[in-house]
Structure 1
Amino acid sequence: MQKMRLSGVSPDRALGQNFLIDPNIVDVIERTAALGPDDVVLEVGPGLGVLTERLVQRCGNVHCIELDAALAGLLAKEFGGARGFHLVAADALKLDLRLLEPAPRKFVANLPYNVAVPLVMKSLEELPELEMWCLMLQREIADRLFALPGTSAYGGTSVMARLFAEKISSRPVSGTVFHPRPRVRSSLLAFRRRPEADVGGFPAVRAVVRAAFSHRRKTLANSMAGAADGRLPTAFTRLDAAGRKRTAVAALSGMGLAENTRPQDLTPEQYLELTEFLEGGAGGSGG
């Protein structure tokens, strides 16, 4: 709070800013992320730099991405001379994260809640060398990321997260560690990348998952029949609606699933199988 008063900076709710102000939660983050001198860490939305200070103290390299110009100036002034500190004043969602050098191995941050999901998805896809995430998130988002098939929280985000990562831990965090206090509940979520995950297949699987969940109340076959995402497998998009539905039904049948199966009933692994089937162009023909 003193740092905020001295700097004259105030949180911008439009940017989803809720600054960390409690050093005790920083201790928890440090232990959870198992920070060490060889770590290359990515932090998005560092805010006042309360967590940044610990990262700079403990880690060999720290990439900080801050959209707010005033906060970026504050961070540059405080940490600009620190060894291994790299500041990028930009929108992380518009930045090609693959350009960060050295490549981050851990993603440790109090993420702006309004862009947390796309940032997690972007980091999974663009940073294949990322091994571990330790993120402060809205609790509902943390629960959704690793929700089980068939549950109300399970959706496209869950499929992608579970395909490419596995949860380590999740713990509730009191709103008192932030300023201003968030209007939603928070959790500290830690997860690691699955070593067998193929990042090269991320775009195709994500396109299929998005199409499937675009109409959650429809059957999966009907959702896929109306899919028009150009990122879907070419062999599938060349089909007309009837052909796309026949192909989806054939894929479901091959997995032992009924034609009326809904998107939330497939496991992440079955979505991978579905994508591979669609890429093969099996099923009905267009026209």
Structure 2
Amino acid sequence: DVVLEIGPGLGVLTRYLADHAGHVHTVELDRSLEPHLAELPPSVDLHWGDAVTLDLAALQPAPTKLVANLPYNVATPIVAESLAGLPSVDLWCVMVQRELADRFFASPSTKAYGAVSVLVQLAARRTGFHAVSRTVFRPQPNVESALVAFRRIPLPERFDRIKPVVVAAFSHRRKTLPNSLELAGLASRERGAQALASLGRPATSRAEELAPEEFVVLTEAL
């Protein structure tokens, strides 16, 4: 396996991964951690920079597993972009804020269900979930966390076209889906209503009512 680790910190997990994987790419933004990462095993490539902006798809050998302890503010873009942007990755194991972990595999018509729920569920199936109390961290954060694992399934065709439709649909949660699509410049209200009709859905439908698979059909109809 080739593991991509985001945020090695002091390198404790990095060294463990190096003992069990063929190769490890680890990405760290904080240069103050450099003394702790100075003597990593030879199978580890250390990359300094922001994981959100680095060209992770160019890493060689290409990563097959993604492991990360992600801050809330970057967890969504990193996970969402890796679904299609890192096609070689077939397994994710990430520690995130509990609220986000619940969103990844939330059901339609629930408060937690959103764009990231649809995108993750179209690309992966959850294989593990473990709640982690704030009391195990030092310093202790103000939020609960969760370790969540999910494995890739085949991406729908034209996933690159589905993603902007999903993002636009959830950009205005209180508006009907045709209105949200029109505000994003993706389709007129009339066209949006016609696309919903092909799903057997009324024009008054909102994004959170549609299952992930329905967004695939909706995009095709548009």
Q: Residue deviations 1:90-129, cap 9 Å, x none?
A: 1010011110111111111212232111110111121101
Task: Work out whether 1:54 is the aligned partner of 2:30.
Answer: no
Task: Work out whether 1:223 is the aligned partner of 2:198.
Answer: no
**More helix per residue:** 1
Deviation, 1:73, is 4.5
Amino acid across the alignment from 1:252: L
2:85 pairs, out of 122, 126, 140, with 126
Task: Work out whether 1:90 is the aligned partner of 2:44.
Answer: no
Amino acid across the alignment from 1:163: L
Task: Work out whether 1:103 is the aligned partner of 2:62.
Answer: yes
Task: Work out whether 1:267 is the aligned partner of 2:197.
Answer: no
C-alpha contact (below 8 Å) 2:71/2:97 kept by paired residues: no
Q: Residue deviations 1:63-82, cap 9 Å, x none?
A: 0000011224531x120xx2
Q: Name the SS of the counterpart of 1:78 in structure 2.
A: coil
1:157 pairs, out of 116, 122, 136, with 116
Q: Residue deviations 1:149-171, cap 9 Å, x none?
A: 11111011101011111111211
2:106 pairs, out of 132, 144, 147, with 147
Task: Work out whether 1:44 is the aligned partner of 2:2.
Answer: no
Task: Work out whether 1:277 is the aligned partner of 2:212.
Answer: no
Greater gyration radius: 1
* 2:191 aligned partner: 247
Q: Residue deviations 1:169-194, cap 9 Å, x none?
A: 21111223322212100001010011
C-alpha contact (below 8 Å) 2:198/2:221 kept by paired residues: no
Task: Work out whether 1:178 is the aligned partner of 2:122.
Answer: no
Alignment RMSD (CA, Å) = 1.3
CA distance in structure 2 between the partners assigned to 1:45 and 1:112 by the alignment: 9
Deviating above 6 A after TM superposition, structure 1's stretches of 4 or more consecutive aligned residues are none
Amino acid across the alignment from 1:132: L
Question: Alignment identity in percent?
Answer: 50
Amino acid across the alignment from 1:48: L
CA distance in structure 1 between the partners assigned to 2:162 and 2:138 by the alignment: 38
Q: Name the SS of the counterpart of 1:203 in structure 2.
A: helix
Task: Work out whether 1:211 is the aligned partner of 2:168.
Answer: yes
CA distance in structure 1 between the partners assigned to 2:112 and 2:120 by the alignment: 13
Deviation, 1:83, is 2.7
Give me the TM-score of the superposition, normalised by structure 2: 0.95
Deviation, 1:201, is 2.5
Amino acid across the alignment from 1:266: L
CA distance in structure 1 between the partners assigned to 2:160 and 2:136 by the alignment: 36
Give me the TM-score of the superposition, normalised by structure 1: 0.74
Task: Kindly tell me the number of residue pairs found equivalent between the two proteins.
Answer: 222
Amino acid across the alignment from 2:201: L
Q: Name the SS of the counterpart of 2:135 in structure 1.
A: helix
CA distance in structure 1 between the partners assigned to 2:62 and 2:200 by the alignment: 42
C-alpha contact (below 8 Å) 1:56/1:85 kept by paired residues: yes
CA distance in structure 2 between the partners assigned to 1:182 and 1:118 by the alignment: 21
